Amino acid sequence: MPPQWSSSSPELLLSVDRSDRRPLRAQLEHALRDAIRTGRLQVGERLPSSRELARTAEVSRGLVQECYAQLQAEGYLVTRPGSATRVAAGAAAPAGTARPDPGGERLLADFCWGVPDLRSFPLQDWLWATREAARAMPPAAFGYGDPRGSAELREVLAGYLRRVRAAAADPERIVVCNGYAQGLGLTLRVLADGGVRAVAFEDPGSPATVGAAAAAAGLRAVPVPVDAHGLDVAALARTDARAVVVTPAHQWPTGVALAPERRLALLAWARERDGFVIEDDYDAEHRYDREPVGALQGLAPDRVVSLGTVSKSLAPALRIGWMLCPPGLTDAVTAQKHLSDRGTPTLEQLALARLMESGRFDRHLRRMRATYAARRDALLEALAEHAPGVRVTGLAAGFHAVAHLPEEADEQRVVRAARARSVGLHGMSACRASRDARPPQLVLGFGNVGIRAVRAGIAAVGDLLAAPSSLAR
């Protein structure tokens, strides 16, 4: 669909060369044809009025009218009484230069991980919070401000994290950032400046994200295995890493919680190694079958950098996150944030503060817990009906599950066969540092998949999950 410009006469950059021997009209016609053929102007897009284009191109209005009439005769433009001149339906860029469909492939169900229910974003509450925040903003708030972020949001966050996550949250040591990736990058750059040369991460986990951030900071990324109790701290101790990225409340992607004895061992490692734990507190709000697990940062605020965002609780597009920094790192992280982008947008920060203070944020979380729990139940019921031999784990929290395929299954063949049936499945191999597809497992995200789609999707691929001989290794 072409852009619908609100201006009565949209601008269009077309140049004419008065040193060229070709007539100005011929140059203008050629420029317009080229803009249409190459896709700069799309079918249905409105052109400037003849008066406006004459002004910007510094030619006569009559010349532009003649140009438009010629291109209309050639089928490039169309004009209707009372309507603007537009690119005609028959005029299009060559097939090789056409833009891809932004909607992409249409799937019956896409069990993509890490995406919350985008349709359930509390738009009315967010608009209310934004209006309230804008109404109360003093003129000074429109400046660059504190690179740590809005003092008001940091106060609200500190209270929220103390209440909900049992964190040792001091607003003076909170730095607001643009999501998890920026928070991780800032932390690793500061640690690298302090002499850290290697950062460990959970395996399976997020090798691509941590690896990219580590490389940007000049660090080596070292995988450490995860078992049924979480990160293997003994294996971590055998590396030379002085920092480690962990997801202790709900390990990504296996779903296990870091066992109490492992939590204590990990903090002891950090003290003995003079190292730091980077806690990704990404999925702490969504609990179903067990008591909430408090933030690791609350046990050792001098050794843990805790990163949180609203990407899973509200929406990734907001790009709002926060860092609970140890006292010894706060100033350096703040300086890095200042160098990076001078700060996170203030209006959005104040809107989030209003949303949290008003209780609307908590109400939204309660509603979404019920939504995700219903989808989780639908997933389990569909698997029990259509693929009863598949074991499922990691469902006590969050909005993804791990499906354990039969040992003889070929994970990637199952993924490809499901795609041929318009169902998106995603293998665990992408979460492993080695990219090994053994054992064969799928990470089934249901955050952005409705109950009907969950049932229809599993029904369509249930026989594939049972790994018939054609899809075995």
Closest C-alpha among 433, 428, 402, 421 to residue 464: 421
Which CATH code, of 3.40.50.300, 3.40.640.10, 2.40.33.20, 3.20.20.10, is assigned to 122-358? 3.40.640.10
Give the number of C-alpha atoms closer than 13 A to the C-alpha of residue 430, restricted to the C-beta side: 12
Return the pLDDT at 14. 85
pLDDT digits (tens, 9 = 90+) for 307-324: 999 999 999 999 999 999
Return the pLDDT at 428. 97
The answer to whether 202 touches 279, Cβ cutoff 8 Å, is no
Give 101's pLDDT tier (boundaries 50, 70, 90).
Answer: very low
pLDDT digits (tens, 9 = 90+) for 41-94: 989 899 999 999 999 888 999 999 999 989 888 889 998 777 789 999 877 655
Q: Cβ-count burial of 26 within 10 angstroms (0-12 exposed, 13-18 middle, 19+ buried)? A: middle
What does the alpha-carbon distance between residue 471 and residue 414 come to, in Å, rounded to a whole number? Answer: 6
CA angle, residues 168, 173, 177, in degrees to nearest 5: 110
Backbone angles phi, psi at 73, to 5 degrees: -65, -30
Q: What is the pTM of this model?
A: 0.83
Structure tokens at 153: 């949001």
CATH number of 24-97: 1.10.10.10
Give 15's pLDDT tier (boundaries 50, 70, 90).
Answer: confident
What does the alpha-carbon distance between residue 337 and residue 147 come to, in Å, rounded to a whole number? Answer: 6
Is 95's pLDDT higher than 80?
Answer: no
The mean per-residue pLDDT over the stretch 422-444 comes to 96
pLDDT digits (tens, 9 = 90+) for 346-357: 999 999 999 999
pLDDT digits (tens, 9 = 90+) for 213-228: 999 999 999 999 999 9
Backbone angles phi, psi at 406, to 5 degrees: -55, 150
What does the alpha-carbon distance between residue 53 and residue 72 come to, in Å, rounded to a whole number? Answer: 16
CATH number of 109-118+363-471: 3.90.1150.10
Q: Cβ-count burial of 471 within 10 angstroms (0-12 exposed, 13-18 middle, 19+ buried)? A: buried
Neighbour count for residue 366 (Cβ, 10 Å): 11
Inter-helix orientation angle 123-136/360-386, to 10°: 160
What does the alpha-carbon distance between residue 182 and residue 239 come to, in Å, rounded to a whole number? Answer: 26
Q: Tell me whether strands 304-309 and 391-393 are parallel, antiparallel or unpaired.
A: unpaired
| Sheet strand arrangement including 174-177 | 174-177, 321-324, 304-309, 276-280, 243-246, 198-203, 220-227, 230-231
The distance of Cα 344 from the centroid of its chain, to the nearest Å, equals 16
Residue in this structure with the two tokens 């229809």, named with its chain if needed? 456
Q: Which residue ranges make up each domain of the chain?
A: 24-97, 109-118+363-471, 122-358
Position with higher pLDDT, 82 vs 183: 183
Backbone angles phi, psi at 465, to 5 degrees: -65, -25
The answer to whether 39 touches 54, Cβ cutoff 8 Å, is no
Give me the residues paired with residue 199 across strands: 221, 243
Say yes or no: do domains 109-118+363-471 and 122-358 share a fold.
no
331-to-71, 167, 186 alpha-carbon distances in Å? 62, 20, 12
The answer to whether 258 touches 223, Cβ cutoff 8 Å, is no
